[in-house]
Structure 1
Amino acid sequence: MATSDADDSLYPIAVLIDELRNEDVQLRLNSIKKLGTIALALGVERTRAELIPFLTDTIYDEDEVLLALAEQLGSFTPLVGGPEHVHCLLPPLESLATVEETVVRDKAVDSLRYIADQHSQSDLENYFVPLVKRLAGGDWFTSRTSACGLFAVCYKRVSTNVKAELRQNFRNLCADDTPMVRRAAAGKLGEFAKVVESDCLKSDLIQLFNLLAQDEQDSVRLLAVEASVSIASLLPSEDTEQLVMPTLRQAAEDKSWRVRYMVADKFTELQTAVGPEITKNDLVPAFQSLLKDCEAEVRAASAHKVKDFCQNLSPDVREQIIMTSMLQCVKDLVADANQHVKSALASVIMGLSPILGKENTIEHLLPLFLIQLKDECPEVRLNIISNLDCVNEVIGIKQLSQSLLPAIVELAEDTKWRVRLAIIEYMPLLAGQLGVEFFDEKLNSLCMTWLVDHVYAIREAATLNLRKLVEKFGKEWAQQTVLPKVLQMSRDQNYLHRLTCLFCINLLAEPLGQELTTKLILPTIVTMGSDPVANVRFNVAKTLQKLAPQIDQSSIQAQVKPLLTKLKADSDLDVQYYALEALDVLK
């Protein structure tokens, strides 16, 4: 049946209404995701007159649908006619900014922040600022928390009187009865500080900072610490010392470990913000205190910052402060009872070598590296080995080999197989840092010894290790150093070692390439096809199947197929099976 023109003009809205009333959440979600297409079909006038009011009235859906709607509306400016009409998107976003679900509110605020820039100054004052005030004065805490994120995006472009009103609204939110609102205000205080005038920063926002930093809720206090970085970076040094540092000193000794953790986490940012003089007088003792904190989480966060903090110290006092104030704290952390603290320190401690120089590194740091290299926690050992190149550059490979390599060799030969396994996994990393000559001289024999370890997991890891080393050092190195020793294992009395030879061949063929595989490896595989142990023979068949792409066609016809045909008639059923499977693949 034909529809009238009027019916046609209502079709997209009618369909949308039906779909949004459908019980299927996925259908409603898909409809929201098609809003841009629907708006294009309607045109800008009908989108403003029909679609936006309809969407404003339907804010009652599942959170997933509302989240998609909040996201879509942020990109709707061109679909409503451009910046001069962007204010018509505010009503649905205002409603979304008041819903209970946090992720929906946050997305609505993100969209509001994005479209704020698209308002003219007059529209900002006539439409956007009233929205901010309504949200800030809302009955429910949800709207007031959303309001906190909108002050900074509109403040700079409004008149002086409106600015004063916005500051008063923000002040009210900082003193709100609900902790969630104060938390939201504290989270946006630093951002707001960056847009207010300098005199207002000192007269208004410093007061708010001090208020929030002494809040009864630690979740508010820790966000005030985050704001202090922005505030300190905006003030001259003398104002920072007078207005911000007393509060920060309190925060570094706060009764809540979460607040102290935040101070530790933001410490190097604070250091940059306050400058060298305040760092020397105030932050050094505070940092020492945090490194000795009773909570492991605080010590770990502080330990992560040791290298950056020391590096950022003023050059004229850097070495003195490290040697007199930091070094003892670092020594204590090396022996910390918590493995996360030790691991955090191990990830940065090597970076102190370039700062302290050769003599101090040898005298004070190398003993600490040795302790950490033997730590029972694998992550601590890995972090030390991962950063050996920092020390190598400062003290040289000779000193390093005399100091640290014996410890590495000791671990490599440890009676606990899991310790040996951990060192194997680090070996390619070590090889890359120490170079091929040093590796061949000191560590190559270890890698070959692991291939005949009595624990299968070690032998397996050692074969993977060899492949990584070949990829790192190249074919020529493999041909001269690794391959002769691997192929020699094919004649070992222990059949497990002969199997390990085949496993190595499987992994090495690809990085070695077709020419070396055909020329050097294939003859050994063919010889092993007559091995007295069936387990070895069927692994020969499996190896030939896997290596076929790495062997040239003439050798496949002349050597591989005849051997597989022979194995197909083997007395062992498993050997027959794998030989047949390999022949099928070759066909």
Structure 2
Amino acid sequence: MAFVAYSAYGGDTAMNPEMTENTLYPIAVLIDELKHDDLSLRLNAIRRLSTIAQALGPERTRSELIPFLDESIEDEDEILLAIAEELGDFVEYVGGPEQAHVLLRPLENLASVEETVVRDKAVASINKVSEGLTETALETYFVPMLKRLHGADWFTSRSSAACLFAVAYPRVSAALQEEMRQAYGQLCQDTTPMVRRAAATRLSEFVKVLQPEHVVSVAIPYFNYLSVDDQDSVRLLTVESLMTIAKALTTEEVGQYLVESFRSLCMDKSWRVRYMVAEKFVELTKVMAPHMSKEEVITIFTNLIKDVEAEVRTAICSQIPGFGELVGRDDVLEKIYPCLKELVSDPSQPVRSAFASHISGLASLFGKEATHQYLLPLFLRLLKDDFPEVRLNIISKLDKVNGVIGIELLSEQLLPAIMELAEDKQWRVRLAIIEYIPLLATQLGRDFFDEQLTHLCMSWLGDRVYSIREAATHNLKNLTDVFGVDWAKATIIPKILGLSNHPNYLYRMTTIFALTTIAPSVTPEVIQSSILPTLEGLVTDEIPNIRFNVAKSLQVLAPIMKQSTELQPLLESQVMPMLTKLSQDPDQDVQFYAQCATQAIQA
């Protein structure tokens, strides 16, 4: 085959000096690479298909490259996946939407292979290519392809066919639409579970493009087939379809056709189906509630809370705040709260963790008194849970409770537990407490904070975990923003400076980090009187890591000092002498960072 272009892979670039590597190269080389034993080389060749297509031009791409790829389907899954992905973006290389139908044949073959990820990518590319096809092209090329896939003997083709109806249905003739509706119904009753699964998965998409008059006559029978399927992997997929169909029906039609199915799914013998219902319970209930008594809905909800499977109980926990809003505070307290108390001591840690994440959402519904009476005892028990994730989740949502009951009650009831968690052995729990401190400080006020929490905030600077020490320095900056520079000068800066003489080098390192982090929030006077002298004292520290962090700190401080007329002279009189000394340090890392800081200041 004649050369179409050249590259570093084998073409004579000397014949055209303007060509560069990764531009155009021989299609013969592509053939060789696709037949190579090295998988990475074959993958690289596939990724260059667009380059080849540009070189060939649309006509030769259609007549040579696409047929060649179609013949190359017998390959490893990674190669087939790459081809399926590339062809989805190939419309412009074959001549635009008018010629895009030539891509359907290789993609049809890819949609029939055994590997699921390859079929899924091929289906996605078919749908992408088909969006640009004209109605004539759809009926001439796409629909026959769909019929071939639908009527194929092997289940893989029929599974792919189920994913292609929605994109074409709105743009074909009424006669073809009738055929497509019947064909989809056949897939819903296919003898192979995998095909029925594909039909159930895509039923929502198909319902959205059906005409209103066909939703009742077509979609509901399809749904009914699938919702009573003997495979739970099929039934669980109908939960999403139930919601889509309900939105397409009138309120009366929902009551007539769907409520009984909803009841059945809620009590399905498979926990996986009940799990899917639990995940979307509030959304489903809003649609079904007009046709069911409140007592029945609450009974179904409490049954899911008491479900024998922990996965179901975990899923329903996320629905607690929304369901509470739906039925009202009185019914929650009378009929649901006893079940909620059991979740606090649930034997499954994921259940307790999910409950801790969502129970605070009831605070706004309960109000101040009921939250104090009913929810705070649950919070206290969760804060003492053995698993750190449970404690973490309840801490991260306390701001919702604070907004309802106020900081006075919150600090009175929960502050002791929070103080205990601040020294938790799990560092992520301590980190969550640190992140909550600025909000707590805003609510507590300066005097209360100084009395109860300042010592705790300073103790985190010496934590054995670096992430905690780093978070602690940012916490001090945030507290300075909350309480002001005068508070920082009187309360925390002296304690930070005291760490600069600590015998443990980690404390001295933390001093540098804390002063650097807090610098943007303080006045020039603090930088001049406290921060610069402390850094100057650490220039001669015996630990090289301390010295090069001084240089990095000075580089951060330089822009702040340049913006202040009061501090600008100190760049030459204090900062540059420190950097000059550090640039002559025997340690190469110290020299490097000192030179970087010097260049940044002089820039």
TM-score (normalised: structure 2): 0.81
Q: Which moved more, 1:113-122 or 1:442-451?
A: 442-451
Range with greater deviation from structure 2 (457-466 or 175-184): 457-466
- Residues 233 and 368 (structure 1 numbering): CA distance in 2 closer, same or farther, change over 3 Å? same
Residue aligning to 1:448: 455
- 1:472 equivalenced with 2:509 (yes/no): no
Q: Is residue 175 from structure 1 mapped to residue 189 from structure 2 by the alignment?
A: yes
Look up the match of 2:434: 428
Residue 394 of structure 2 is aligned to residue 388 of structure 1: no
Residue 513 of structure 2 is aligned with which of 496, 502, 507? 507
- Equivalent residue letter for 2:319: K
Residue by residue, what CA displacement relative to the aligned partner does 1:267-297 show, whole Å, maximum 9, x if unpaired? 2332344465548465432222111111111
- 1:520 counterpart = 2:526: no
Task: Map residues 232-251 of structure 1 onto 2, 5 A cutoff.
Answer: 232-251=246-265
| Pair 1:4–1:145, CA change in 2 (3 A) | closer
Distance 1:447 1:124, change over 3 A: same
Deviation of 1:439 (Å): 5.9
Contact conserved, 1:518 with 1:555, CA < 8 A, in 2? no
How far apart are the structure 1 equivalents of 2:530 and 2:583?
A: 19
Q: Which amino acid aligns with 1:363?
A: Q
Aligned partner letter, 2:264: Q
Letter in 2 for 1:106: D
**Whole-Å separation in 2 of the counterparts to 1:86 and 1:447:** 68
Amino acid at match of 1:35: L
2:384 to 349, 367, 374: 374
Paired with 1:81 and 1:261, the residues of 2 have a C-alpha distance of 48
Structure 1 residues 540-549 or 133-142, which shifts more? 540-549
Deviation at 1:526, TM superposition (A): 7.2
Query: Separation in 1 of the partners of 2:165 and 2:582?
Result: 80
CA displacement at 1:182 relative to structure 2 = 1.1
Deviations 1:88-125, CA, capped at 9 Å, x for gaps: 22111111110111111111101111122222222222
Against the structure 1 CA distance between its residues 556 and 529, is the aligned structure 2 distance closer, same or farther, given a 3 Å change threshold?
Answer: closer
| Matching residue's letter, 2:400 | C
The equivalences for 1:394-409 within 5 A come to: 394-409=404-419
User: Equivalents in 1 of 2:430, 2:73: separation in Å?
Assistant: 59
Q: Which residue of 1 aligns with 2:373?
A: 363
CA distance change for structure 1 residues 116 and 284 in 2, over 3 Å: closer, same or farther?
Answer: farther
Q: How many corresponding residue pairs?
A: 555
Verify the 8 A CA contact 1:505 1:521 in the aligned structure 2. Answer: no
Larger displacement relative to structure 2 (53-62 or 470-479): 470-479
For residues 449 and 401 of structure 1, what CA distance do their matches in structure 2 show? 15
Please tell me whether residue 71 in structure 1 is matched to residue 85 in structure 2: yes
Please give the alpha-carbon distance, in whole angstroms, between the structure 1 residues aligned to 2:510 and 2:272: 51
SS at match of 2:113: coil
Distance 1:166 1:216 in 2: 25
Residues 70 and 105 in structure 2, CA contact (< 8 A), matched pair in contact too: yes
SS of aligned partner of 2:514? helix
Find out whether 1:271 has 2:285 as its counterpart: yes
Alignment of 1:314-325 (within 5 A): 317-325=327-335
Which whole-Å CA distance do the structure 2 matches of 1:527 and 1:24 have between them?
60
Superposed, 1:82-231 pairs within 5 Å as 82-231=96-245
- Give how far 1:249 is off: 1.6
Deviations 1:197-233 (A, max 9, x none): 3333222322221221222211111112222111122
CA distance in 1, matches of 2:398, 2:376: 11
Per the alignment, residue 20 of structure 2 pairs with none
Q: Is the 8 A contact 2:170 2:209 kept in 1?
A: yes
Equivalence for 1:41: 55
Q: Match of 2:404, as an amino acid?
A: V
Deviation at 1:331, TM superposition (A): 1.8
1:65-97 superposed Cα distances (whole Å, 9 cap, x missing partner): 211211222222232223232222211111111
How far apart are 1:237 and its partner, in Å? 2.2
The unaligned stretches of length 5 or more in structure 2 are 6-24, 558-569, 596-603
Distance 1:527 1:207, change over 3 A: closer
| Identical-pair percentage | 43
Match of 2:362?
Answer: 352
Whether the 8 Å contact between 1:452 and 1:459 is mirrored in structure 2 is no
Distance in 1 (CA, whole Å) between partners of 2:58 and 2:42 is 23
Paired residue type of 2:473: R
Runs of 4+ in 1 over 6 A off after TM superposition: 2-5, 459-462, 525-530, 535-540, 557-565
**Which amino acid in structure 2 is aligned with residue 206 of structure 1?**
I
| Contact 1:350–1:391 (Cα < 8 Å) also in 2 | yes
Specify the alignment match of 2:301 in structure 1. 287
| Structure 1 residues 463 and 442: CA distance shift in structure 2, 3 A | farther
Q: What is the match of residue 563 of structure 2? A: none
Deviation at 1:509, TM superposition (A): 2.0
SS in structure 1 at match of 2:393:
helix
- SS of 1:194's partner is helix
Once structures 1 and 2 are overlaid, which stretch shifts more, 545-554 or 131-140?
Answer: 545-554
The verdict on how the C-alpha distance between 1:368 and 1:96 changes in structure 2, with shifts beyond 3 A counting, is: same
- Residue 418 of structure 1: CA displacement? 0.8
Distance, in Å, in 1 between the alignment partners of 2:546 and 2:45 is 59
Q: Select which of 312, 328, 343 maps to 2:338.
A: 328
46-55 or 295-304, which moves further after superposition?
A: 46-55
3-state SS of paired residue (1:347): helix
What amino acid sits opposite 2:425 in the alignment?
R
CA distance in 1, matches of 2:74, 2:344: 56
In 2, Cα distance between equivalents of 1:513 and 1:4: 63
Amino acid at match of 2:573: S
SS of 1:348's equivalent in the other structure is helix
Corresponding position of 1:571: none
Contact 1:145/1:180 (CA < 8 Å) preserved in 2?
A: yes
CA distance in 1, matches of 2:589, 2:102: 70
Letter matched to residue 509 of structure 1: L
